[in-house]
Structure 1
Amino acid sequence: MRSRADRPAAPDPAAPAVVAAHAASKGRYGSRKIKASLERSGVTVSRRRVCRIMRENGLVSAYGRKRFKVHPGAVNEADVPNVVARGFGGRAPRTHICSDLLALI
């Protein structure tokens, strides 16, 4: 075995398809989406094999940063009347009933 010369590994036949799918997605697709796009085009390849080919060719998927989503609408727009009107001075029992606002809506 030591006297045998090491043969270079044969290139993977799926490598050009993976590189082309990554280039077609403008570098956005990762291994899962590349696998799905190759399956749609008729090439059967495992996700781990796609990962290995991407690693060997230095391909990395592009991903953006998570951004804050603005939710429209202001606070306290509920049409619930203000019955208490901050009059907490009531001494008689059961004159002021307090509850969760979400339970009233």
Structure 2
Amino acid sequence: MVAAHAASKGRYGSRKIKASPGRSGVTVSRRRVCRIMRENGLVSAYGRKRFKVHPGAVNEADVPNVVARGFGGRAPRTHICSDLTYVRVGASWNYV
């Protein structure tokens, strides 16, 4: 198992070492592999998922201006605006 971990350049964890084809027919549980790895101080190396930059301009969607920025009304409640994201429909929430 130590050799399988070294052959994978330290990338394999207990699951992949258990399933690795180079074990020559030896039956072993994943917990035993975990224990042997822990006793030898072996840990799998894995990379973190990184944010991918997506090229594009901000607000590139061509959406008509329905409100026409007429927020200068003096009477109360003549222009009501909100940001609605989820709506309850029946027993579940749906995204708008």
TM over 0.5: yes
Gaps of 5+ in 2: 85-95
CA RMSD in angstroms, aligned pairs only: 3.4
Question: C-alpha displacement at 1:93, in angstroms?
Answer: 12
Figure out how many residues of one structure are paired with residues of the other and give that number: 85
Q: Aligned equivalents of 1:41 and 1:35: distance in 2?
A: 11
1:69 equivalent to 2:52? Answer: yes
Question: What residue ranges of structure 1 are gaps of 5+ in the alignment?
Answer: 1-17
Separation in 1, partners of 2:6, 2:39 = 15
CA gap of 1:42–1:74, structure 2 versus 1, over 3 A, is farther
- Counting aligned pairs with the same residue, the percent is 95
Deviation at 1:99, TM superposition (A): 7.4
> Structure 1's 56 and 98: CA in aligned 2 closer, same or farther, altered over 3 A?
closer
Distance in 2 of aligned mates of 1:41 and 1:58: 23
The structure in which a higher percent of residues are helix is 1
Q: Secondary structure at the match of 2:20?
A: helix
TM-score, normalisation: structure 2: 0.60
- With normalisation by structure 1, the TM-score equals 0.56
Q: Which has the higher strand share?
A: 2
